[in-house]
A and B are shown apart, each in its own frame.
Chain A
Amino acid sequence: GQSLEQPSEVTAVEGAIVQINCTYQTSGFYGLSWYQQHDGGAPTFLSYNALDGLEETGRFSSFLSRSDSYGYLLLQELQMKDSASYFCAVRDRTGGGNKLTFGTGTQLKVEL
């Protein structure tokens, strides 16, 4: 089966850079996604990495190393509105690659 590990909580100050790590174990890996969820809200898609390397989207970047079964989400120039939970999720050949398995989430607290 699949398993993902990410820290339960991270705290950083406004304007700083924070990295949220995710390690995974899976069979037939296709790709790693990141989702953001504010308290009381629905998860929203941030990024997807299928190949090794860094993908940048504005203040957010996501990195993948397939050989290390590891990825991270990098948030730069932190803002208070970035306080949320962040989930990594893997897509693999389970179910024909049609579904995601989510980690338990990292709660990011941004402080002044």
Chain B
Amino acid sequence: DAGITQSPRHKVTETGTPVTLRCHQTENHRYMYWYRQDPGHGLRLIHYSYGVKDTDKGEVSDGYSVSRSKTEDFLLTLESATSSQTSVYFCAISRDSGTDTQYFGPGTRLTVL
């Protein structure tokens, strides 16, 4: 299994509070991705990174920001959490875009009350 961890695995927070989710990899893969998964919507890309300090938006990026200061870490921040951001968040990595194989972390279940 690819070495990907996510923290925290579960979090309950209140509307308006900031939240940061961490994805950590030990594979030295170039690409890292943040998805959210909601019933009826499958996996939707929030942001992705193609290298240290290189990031781009996905299809549902509003309300989220990311940072990647080291190859192994990709942080997802909700500046002011809303109930609509209650979801399961998955981090994924891939060696390069050409192989098209993404390896997913175990997920973080976030509940915003």
Contacts and interface: CB of A to CB of B under 8 A. Distances in A.
B105 A42 contact: yes
Interface in B32-86: 33, 35, 40-45, 48, 50, 56, 58-59
Contacts of A102: 35, 42-44
Interface string B87-110: 000101000011111111111000
Contacts of A100: 45, 100, 102
B100 A33 contact: yes
Interface string B2-41: 0000000000000000000000000000010101000011
Given A97-B97, A99-B58, A42 B106 contact: yes
Contacts of B100: 30-31, 33, 48, 50, 91, 100
A105 interface: yes
Report, as a range, how many residues of chain B touch the other chain: 20 to 34
B97 A96 contact: yes
Given A99-B58, A102-B42, A91 B101 contact: no
B101 A98 contact: no
A95 interface: yes
A103 interface: yes
Given A30-B100, A104-B42, 14 more contacts: A42-B105, A42-B106, A42-B107, A43-B90, A45-B101, A45-B102, A48-B101, A87-B43, A95-B56, A97-B98, A98-B31, A99-B33, A102-B43, A102-B44
10 contacts: A31-B100, A33-B101, A43-B43, A43-B104, A45-B103, A95-B56, A97-B97, A98-B31, A99-B48, A102-B42
Pairs A-B, 10 closest by C-beta atoms: A42-B104, A104-B42, A98-B97, A102-B43, A102-B42, A48-B100, A45-B101, A43-B104, A105-B42, A97-B97
